[in-house]
Amino acid sequence: MANGVPSTHVQTVPLGSAVLDVEWTPHESKLIPMLCVATSTGSLEFFAFDAEVEKLTQKSSKQISDTETLVLDLLWHPSRADIIAVTLSDGTVSLCRSDDSKNPWSSSSQTTVTELTCHSLEPWTLAFSPDASHVFSGGDDAVLQAMQVSLDSSSDEDNGPSSTTLWTDRKTHEAGVTAILPLANDLLITGSYDDNIRLIAAPPVGRRQVLAELNLSGGVWRLRMLDDDTVSNDAGNGR
């Protein structure tokens, strides 16, 4: 139930594989909203939503890894509709880029996958910094790390995105890092299945420092920033 309105079933779309993550595009220039789905068979599935008929229609499927590898987490680039960041069960954190900036992720477009870094165990989560210059990742290896990312706009296929690891933190978390919410390039909130939520100062040079932490008596798998309207509506509905 949302805002006091009962939920109704609209559509079921069978995929033939497990769904690990789903994200609507944040790019409002699109006339028809697009949904990206991360699957257990190494693909990103793209669906267009037609609000008039309330129907999802598959637009394309992009195989970004082998079929034995799970796409664990996906995230649209904040300002580039042709770029999506992903984490994979083989440990890699990568950027996927469509070669069609005008109609990205269409069935005719080609996808380039660039590895940014690799965890020793499954990387559960990733996040862009507010200015999209950094990518943060966290994994089952209890590692939190930051990469500075450069997006080359050249049409030369050999000049794709590149990254530099700024720092790697192996000491702050006592178990896997499962959620990251950047407040600034050097200030993060993290969640872990060591049951703690932490506010971390993370300068590009020097040690990370935990400014505050709270044990929530359960693994913290998702973090979202709520605006005042969301909080007011939830409170009004008894949530």
Total domain count for the chain?
1
Q: Is pLDDT at 95 greater than 70 in this prediction?
A: yes
188 belongs to a structural domain: no
3-class SS string, 200-214: EECCCCCCCEEEEEE
156 belongs to a structural domain: yes
214 belongs to a structural domain: no
For residue 172, the enclosing domain spans: 19-176
The pLDDT assigned to 228 comes to: 63
Q: What is the CATH number of the domain that holds 165?
A: 2.130.10.10
The pLDDT assigned to 231 comes to: 47
66 belongs to a structural domain: yes
In the chain, alpha helices (H): 228-236
59 belongs to a structural domain: yes
Q: Is pLDDT at 238 greater than 70 in this prediction?
A: no
The pLDDT assigned to 155 comes to: 43
Nearest to 113 by CA among 90, 137, 85, 140: 85
4 belongs to a structural domain: no
192: tokens are 């872990």
45 belongs to a structural domain: yes
DSSP-derived secondary structure for 147-198: EEEE----S-TT---EEEEEEEE-SS-SS-EEEEEEEETTEEEEEETTSEEE
50 belongs to a structural domain: yes
> Each residue of 140-172: pLDDT tens digit?
999 999 999 988 644 444 556 788 999 999 999
Residues 53, 74, 121: CA angle, nearest 5 degrees: 150
Task: Check residues 93 and 13 and name the one with the higher pLDDT.
Answer: 93
> Each residue of 96-132: pLDDT tens digit?
999 988 889 999 999 999 999 999 999 999 999 999 9
> Each residue of 15-66: pLDDT tens digit?
789 999 999 998 865 557 889 999 999 999 999 887 777 788 899 999 999 9
pTM, to two decimals: 0.86
Rg (CA), the chain: 19
As a whole number, mean pLDDT of residues 185-210 equals 95
As a whole number, mean pLDDT of residues 82-86 equals 95
